[in-house]
Chains A and B, each alone.
Chain A
Amino acid sequence: MNALKLLKQPQASPRDQAFTTNHETIIEPARGWSALKLREVWDYRDLLYFMVMRDLKTRYSQTALGPLWIIINPLFSMVLYTVIFGVIAKLPSGNVPYQVFTYCALLPWDMFSDDVGSGSTSLLSNRELISKIYFPRLVLPFSRVISSLVDFWISFVILIGMLIFYRITPTWGVILIPFFLLLIMLTGLGIGLWFSGIIVKYRDFGQVTGYLVRALMYLSPVVYSSEVVPERFYFLYHLNPMANVLEGFRWALLGTAPPDWIMLLVSAGISVALFLTGLYQFRRVERSIVDIA
């Protein structure tokens, strides 16, 4: 046993050394804005991976249908919206069937609303863990965003099936889908991070994010086409990053009118600003959460 240990030691040490050399931690009172320390999040990338796995494996544990729920959720909304807005209200959906029209926007929208929800509650719902162990707290919202991305791709398979069934040919815009997804993540996470700190102090804001997401959904072309929006609200309406992203999705996959590229870039700027300020806001509050929550 001892001999074995001696043999093992020299192999492990160079890696250990590399990991720990000059590892200095300074603990000081927090004043104002502090560094984002994204490097540290990168160091904990293995944790990110296992957090995502935990989320995916446990979310539907002890359910009979299990991961099928990932698909059922958007399908249910699709059926509901198709009946209410497509059949009863008869909202126009261009030359594609309403169910495909709305499902195509529902997937990115669900991902966005997931990101807002999980981002905003990430500190609060993990306070037990946060009050006991140090690790870069940003891992928590990041991991949730990644798992909602996995959900997206699973539901996306259904969408592909629908496109084949209805013989709809996507445009070259599909190559921009990763870019659209990135914008959704930045926006959703940005809003979520902003609220995460406030929610810890004032739980009331947990309700507020719910209302906000619901209101935003009707301010975005999820159940209707943005063509029905009056011209005088055009600029204001398209400041919403999600409005442009959803138009982009429909254009890429269903061949509807392309998004307004200028407004897309403007709103992308808003997304990036939301995300960066959200990051700083999160870093600012994560250090005091243990004392408040």
Chain B
Amino acid sequence: MASPVIQVENLGKRYRIGVRESTTTLNRWQAIGATLRAPFTYLLDSLRAPTEEETLWAIRDVSFEVKRGEVLGIIGRNGAGKSTLLKILSRITDPTEGRAVMRGRIGSLLEVGTGFHPDLSARENIYLKGTILGMKKWEIDSKLDEIIEFAEIGRFLDTPVKRYSSGMGVRLGFAVAAHLEPEILIVDEVLAVGDAAFQSKCIGKMTGIAQSGRTILFVSHNIPTVMQLCSRALLLQDGRVAFDGDPIEIAKEYLRGALQRDGEVVWAEDQAPGEHGLLVRGVRIAFPDGRLAPVVRVDEPFQVVVYYQILEPNLSTRCAVKFYTQSQLAFTSVEPVESKRLAPGIYSTRVNVPPHLLNEGEYTIGLSFFQYYPVKRHFAMVKETVSFQVFDPMNGDSARGDYTQHLGGLVSPRLHWQLAQPDVLTTFATTLPSLTHEPVGATA
């Protein structure tokens, strides 16, 4: 109890990134020369020490300690160093500097699918995956029934995994991993993909593991889940620990916008996506008063503002905004009419998102610009532009009312509920006789 279960000291990982070669056009002889020299330049390049601009510190000076039974959430945006830290602590890659000590058996769940062989049956795959994860055969023997039950694969036990639906594959993967029972569990949030019922099952299993006194590192970019699961959170920013403490405090920091500048993206003219005379210049998530909204509450309205530039006269276009969450398209909103014969210049179009529509979590905006009349023509298609967080202040006013647990789904609209005490006979009189052999009226 005295010494922490995980002790991380000044951990750092440097990657070598390629520097773009000069793109000057070569004439024929130069090109032949370059081809002949290629093996040697390749060799020499990989032998010499990388220069400063060729390296990137994915994480640096990361230090923290975790006590037994703690559930530590590690959050940060893409590229903040979460996965690198995860990979180092799971012993998949080595750090460049620093040191970490882990006391206890480590189980790390960075994914669920790999390690399965499509031609083997589920039973054989359970043993294969289990032993890859470090279990002994006798351990799997004793847990086999539980795993099968958890994965809900029952009668498909001896079917080759390649005949499985992807959902079954994910369930099977998580089922094996969840029964690993390590003392330290490292979990990547991407695990929790799948349908809502399965997601809550995974979360439930993890909560169970945490309650049994095991230590969990949970990596996520989803603040609500971290708030729900973790007793403490670590915010990574540009490879360093920017904040370490109460997850609710981190959410507040996020709210103040002090920790990140999410919610807006701007492209320079030469980098802007788009073609055929239209360039997408920027996207902004903003409150009605114009403030940037990297984090919105479920009960607040906000806008998605798209800036675009028209280069050719008389261009007609319309914009579609796609809301992605949990790696899926939640919905698309399209400009109902086309903007006709626009003159060159910069335009903006905005779509108002009402309160109580989105669910908690991270959303990413995708965009497309196209013309539909008289012929369909595409100008731009950007899958990921800005991301923003939606969170529920839990004041009882949202779609969940006073229910505090996770609601599955890509959206969470507030719908109207009504309780009544109808007259049973008049309501069901038409349907009941078909279910019973005697007419309802006879018994009444």
Contacts and interface: CB of A to CB of B under 8 A. Distances in A.
Contacts of B124: 50, 53-54, 57
Interface in A33-60: 44, 46-47, 49-51, 53-54, 57-58
Interface stretch (A159-167, A177-185, A228-236, A284-292): A284-292
Contacts of A128: 114
A205 to B, nearest CB: 12
Given A20-B105, A26-B99, A291-B15, A133 B94 contact: no
> Which of A51, A57, A133, A287 counts the most B-chain CB atoms under 10 A from its CB?
A133
A15 B120 CA distance: 30
B127 A50 contact: yes
A2 interface: no
Given A47-B131, A54-B124, A290-B93, A133 B100 contact: no
A53 B92 CA distance: 25
Interface in B94-147: 94-106, 108, 110-111, 114-115, 117, 119-120, 124, 127-128, 131-138, 142
A16 B105 CA distance: 10
A95 interface: no
A26 B132 CA distance: 20
B360 interface: no
B88 A27 contact: yes
B94 A134 contact: no
B414 interface: no
A10 interface: no
A15 B135 CA distance: 13
A211 interface: no
A41 to B, nearest CB: 12
B87 interface: yes
Contacts of B383: none
Contacts of B132: 47, 129, 133, 135
A90 interface: no
A257 to B, nearest CB: 46
A62 B119 contact: yes
A131 interface: yes
B89 interface: yes
Contacts of A53: 124, 128
B296 to A, nearest CB: 34
B95 A27 contact: yes
Contact of B102 (A27, A46, A49, A51): A27
Interface in B56-96: 87-96
B106 to A, nearest CB: 6
Contacts of A27: 88-89, 91, 94-95, 99-102
A20 B183 contact: yes
Given A20-B183, A47-B131, A50-B128, A130 B92 contact: yes
Interface in A103-158: 128-135
Given A20-B183, A287-B94, A290-B93, A133 B115 contact: yes
Contacts of B426: none
Nearest to A8: B142
A20 B95 CA distance: 25
Contacts of B105: 19-20, 23
A28 B92 contact: no
The bracket for how many chain B residues form the interface is: 35 or more
Interface in B332-356: none
B441 to A, nearest CB: 44
Contacts of B98: 28-29
B46 interface: yes
A201 interface: yes
Nearest to A24: B103
Interface string A164-202: 000000000000000000000000000000000000010
B142 A12 contact: yes
Contacts of A28: 94-95, 98-100
Given A20-B104, A291-B15, A201 B95 contact: no
Contact of A287 (B46, B93, B134, B142): B93
Contacts of A207: none
Given A23-B104, A24-B103, A25-B91, A133 B131 contact: no
B6 to A, nearest CB: 10
A203 to B, nearest CB: 11
B115 A129 contact: yes
Nearest to A22: B103
Contacts of B110: 132-133
Given A54-B128, A287-B94, A291-B93, A24 B102 contact: yes
A107 to B, nearest CB: 27
B443 to A, nearest CB: 39
A19 B95 CA distance: 27
Contacts of A57: 119-120, 124
A14 B92 CA distance: 30
A25 B101 contact: yes
B138 to A, nearest CB: 8
Contacts of B133: 133, 135
B278 to A, nearest CB: 39
A51 B181 CA distance: 22
Contacts of A6: none
Contact of A133 (B92, B93, B181): B92
A27 B6 CA distance: 11
B120 A132 contact: no
Contacts of A131: 87, 92
A267 to B, nearest CB: 32
21 contacts: A23-B104, A24-B101, A25-B101, A25-B102, A26-B99, A26-B101, A27-B88, A27-B91, A27-B102, A46-B136, A47-B132, A49-B131, A54-B117, A54-B124, A61-B119, A129-B132, A130-B92, A131-B87, A131-B92, A132-B115, A134-B108
Would you list the 9 A-B pairs with minimal beta carbon distance, nearest first?
A47-B131, A27-B100, A134-B91, A61-B119, A25-B102, A46-B137, A58-B119, A290-B93, A46-B131
Given A29-B98, A129-B115, A287-B93, 11 more contacts: A28-B98, A44-B131, A49-B137, A53-B124, A53-B128, A132-B111, A132-B114, A133-B132, A134-B91, A290-B92, A291-B93
